[in-house]
Amino acid sequence: MAGAKTASAGLSPVDGSVQLNPVWFEFEDGFFWLNSNTGRLWPKNLQRDRELTMLLVDPKTPDRYAQIKGRLVSLIPDPTAEFIGRLAHRYTGKPFRELEPGEHRVTFKIQPVSVTGQMI
């Protein structure tokens, strides 16, 4: 999983509807680490529900996938955009864009609770 370098779909339901978003992640020390702008919808839902489902798909072999249910363990402010910068390097090989005025980044520490799928 640490090697999986695929955009995964993070998710939180809103009013019972299903919201799917691509997210960047890192898997380290047994946890998933995500990062977002606090103004977006999915981090708000995640903070409310404290749980989410993620799907990791191998882009070259879509039959290889894992569905992970996770629980939000903690929320870590990323004021200097250090962690999102690291994710940007992992995914794009480049630094992250300049933060927009008033943009606040936050890192989510997610504990995997269950894993299902075709690659386990």
Partner 1 sequence: MPLQLSPKMQAFTQEVFPAIIGTNRKDGSVEIVPVWFEQKDGSFWINGGTNRGWFKHLERDPRITLLLIDPKEMFRWAQVEGRMVNWAEDAGGDHINELSHRYLKKDYQGPRTGRIKIQIEPLRVTGAIDGRR
CB of 58 to partner 1, least distance (A): 9
In the complex with partner 1, which residue's Cβ is closer, 17 or 101?
A: 17
Residues 6+ apart with CB under 8 A from 58: 4, 6, 64, 65, 119
CB of 24 to partner 1, least distance (A): 9
| Binding of residue 59 to partner 1 (CB under 8 A) | yes
**Strand (E) or helix (H) holding 104:** none
CB of 100 to partner 1, least distance (A): 13
| Binding of residue 27 to partner 1 (CB under 8 A) | no
| Binding of residue 79 to partner 1 (CB under 8 A) | no
Pairing relation of β-strands 8-11 and 31-37?
unpaired
8-44: buried (b, 16+ CB within 10 Å) or exposed (e) per residue?
A: bbbbbeeeeeeeebebbbbbeeebbbbbbeeeeebbe
Name residues contacting partner 1, limited to 5-24 (CB under 8 A). 7, 9, 11-13, 16-22
Residues in the site for partner 1, rule: CB under 8 A?
7, 9, 11-13, 16-22, 40, 51-55, 57, 59-60, 62, 65, 67, 69, 91
